[in-house]
Amino acid sequence: MTETAGRVLPIYVVADESKSMTPVVHELNAGLSSLHDALLREPMAAAKVRFSVLGFSDDVVVHLALADLRAEESLPQLSTRGGTSYGVAFSLLLDRLPADVRTLKAEGFAVHRPAVFFLSDGQPTDPGQWEEPHRRLTDRDATAAAPNIIACGIGEARAETILKVATRPEFAFVATPGVEVGLAIAEFCAALTKSVIASGQAVGGDTAELVVERPENFRMALDVV
Amino acid sequence: MVGWEPLVIGRPAAPVPARAPAVQPYRPDVVADGWSSPHFEVRCASVRGAAHRFRGEPRQDEFAVVPHGSGALVAVVADGLSAAPMSHLGATIACRTVVEYLLRALDADPAAGVDWPDLLRCAGWSLVEYAARQLPPGDGGAGVADPLAAERALATTVVVALVRPGPPGRATAALARVGDSAAWVLGGGEWRPVFPPSPYAEVLPDAVAALPRVPTDATPVEVELGDVDVLLLGTDGFADPLTDGLADGGAAGKLFAEALAAPPPMLRLAWLLDFDGETYDDDRTLLGVWPTTSP
């Protein structure tokens, strides 16, 4: 009998590998490493995740693709080179996400909407060019597997840019000026770990209205549960 | 002779310890329940998922099923959202409010229709009042109704059925829901979803409606139960492996179709529901109502 393989969440860490990241790239590597450790301590959470790591600069390098982290000895090390082209990262995701979802479905999995964790320390060096692939990537009519993008800006990255990258305002994080960049990266990785492990459902919904007034027929069943 | 080890469906999960739930009041890992009335046999079970067991978090699912003197029964299943830290209480309060509301309506007029949108609004409001009375000020308490804070702390799905007996072996049921908790009529080995399945999508939905929100369209669904049918209400912890499996004729659908052809022993339903399946680590609740053939 064919049997469902379960449900998986594809997660993409898309990290800035531009030259300016050089002083902090080891912090990012350490953060990813502790994420790996945390997942290995929660095997049933790890079972639900397929993990990809992409590093972008003037080009984009796939360091890890759809990995089951229970089977990985360690995570790849990010390094630095060149500029900060957001466009190459979003173009690659635009190719890769639908193909990855097909691959997982062919393996028998039901697939959660992918999550992209985007981290940059600078303004894009391809202004006017990254917006179109980003728009197509996040348009759920154009890309059925359009991801939720959680964006984190550190260093020179501006809040308005990070807000444009994130798919919801509450998914945008910008390090407060003056906060040590290494600390901001550690917080980013902690948030990533928490969301990977919790994989909780979002509260709310667009087609439902909040009850804001006491209905006339209301009676409290019991004061204390 | 079958042992007590959980059945494996698909791939087995890595074994993890079940840690005590770190909440007050105490909340048991498993609830198994059932009863008979002149018109119905009822079985229900709620089991904590592997993720909550491992993290020492409470079972966030809840159910209630209560007979009324008219012969009708009220059944309700709720699933507190993981994102809301006290949603196990939200699920319990919503169930109790729904039961109280429908019993009161049946007392007033057993044959009258139910104002379903009002019922769901009252269930939603019960979370708001509970939060205002019981939660610490930072969590939406301090005596002031704050629906958004109640949602953050207590949000829960709910699926409700009001079942009225017909001739022996038959019954009619009206159902309404908020969120992704599900219901089926199972008969002759066939699973018939009460609520229309969500349209096929490339990826699974990433948000769920929940009380204290109420859908703009709260139209109830009416179903007829015949003498080979059972009405089932369940949370997504059961519905997900079932529907994922149904796409390829999977084992969960067959196993439960056979096991529920007649009312099983109470503990057997709880044991079945606690099956082992990798990535299916959510709480699971299933409630079944069989119209009885002998009056």
Residue B5 placed within a domain? no
How does residue A23 score in pLDDT terms, banded at 50, 70 and 90?
confident
Nearest 10 degrees: Cα torsion B122, B126, B128, B133: 150
Tokens of B210: 């929940």
Residue B202 domain boundaries? 30-291
At A18 the pLDDT is 93
Q: How confident is residue A193, by pLDDT bands cut at 50, 70 and 90?
A: low
Check which CATH number belongs to the domain holding B48 and give it: 3.60.40.10
Instruction: Evaluate whether residue A147 is within a structural domain.
Output: yes
Tell me whether residue B272 is in a domain. Answer: yes
Q: For residue A15, is it within any domain? A: yes
Q: CB-CB: which of A4, A48, A213 is closest to B244? A: A4
By CA distance, what is A70's nearest residue in B? B14
Rounded CA separation B152/A203 (Å)? 7
Angstrom CA distances, B212 to A125, B155, B202, B282, stand at 45, 6, 29, 22
| Residue at B151 is within a domain | yes
**A146-155, A195-204, B109-118, B256-265, range with greatest mean pLDDT:** B256-265
Are residues B82 and A7, on separate chains, in Cβ contact within 8 Å?
no
Q: Name the pTM for this structure.
A: 0.88
> CA of A96, closest CA in chain B: separation in Å?
14
Contact with chain B for residue A108, Cβ under 8 A: yes
What is the average pLDDT score of chain A? 83
Instruction: Find the closest chain B residue to A144 by CA distance.
Output: B202
Contact list, A198 vs chain B (CB under 8 Å): 82-83
Distance CA B275, CA B5 (A): 9
Contact yes or no for B160/B119 (Cβ under 8 A)? yes
**Number of domains making up chain A:** 1
In this prediction, the residues of chain B whose per-residue pLDDT falls under 50 are 248
pLDDT at residue B22 in the model: 92
Give the number of other Cβ atoms within 10 Å of residue A161's Cβ.
21
Residue type, B143: G
Which residues constitute the domain of residue A48?
A: 6-198
Closest residue by Cα to residue A218 from B229, B292, B55, B115: B115
Q: How far is CA A41 from CA A36, A38, B13, in A?
A: 9, 5, 14
Chain A, 117 to 176: residues with Cβ < 8 Å from chain B are 144-145, 148
Check CB contact under 8 Å for A5 and B13.
Answer: no
CB A217 to CB B101 under 8 A?
yes
Residues on chain A touching B205 (C-beta within 8 angstroms): 113
DSSP secondary structure code for residue B4 in this structure: S
* Alpha carbon distance A4, A68 (integer Å): 17
* CATH number, position A11: 3.40.50.410
Q: How many CA atoms lie within 13 A of B20 on its CB side?
A: 5
User: Quick one: how far is CA A224 from the chain centroid?
Assistant: 40
Question: Is residue B286 a part of any domain in this protein?
Answer: yes
Distance from C-alpha of B105 to C-alpha of A205, rounded to nearest angstrom: 29
Quick: pLDDT tens for A37-57. 888 888 878 888 899 999 999
Structure tokens at B196: 């229309």
Cα(B270)–Cα(B69) distance, integer angstroms? 28
- Which of A24-28, A58-62, A154-158, B218-222 is predicted most confidently? A58-62
In a domain, residue B7? The reply is no
Residue of chain B whose alpha carbon sits nearest to that of A3: B250
Rounded to an integer, the average pLDDT of A135-158 is 90
Question: CB A16: neighbour CB atoms within 10 A?
Answer: 30
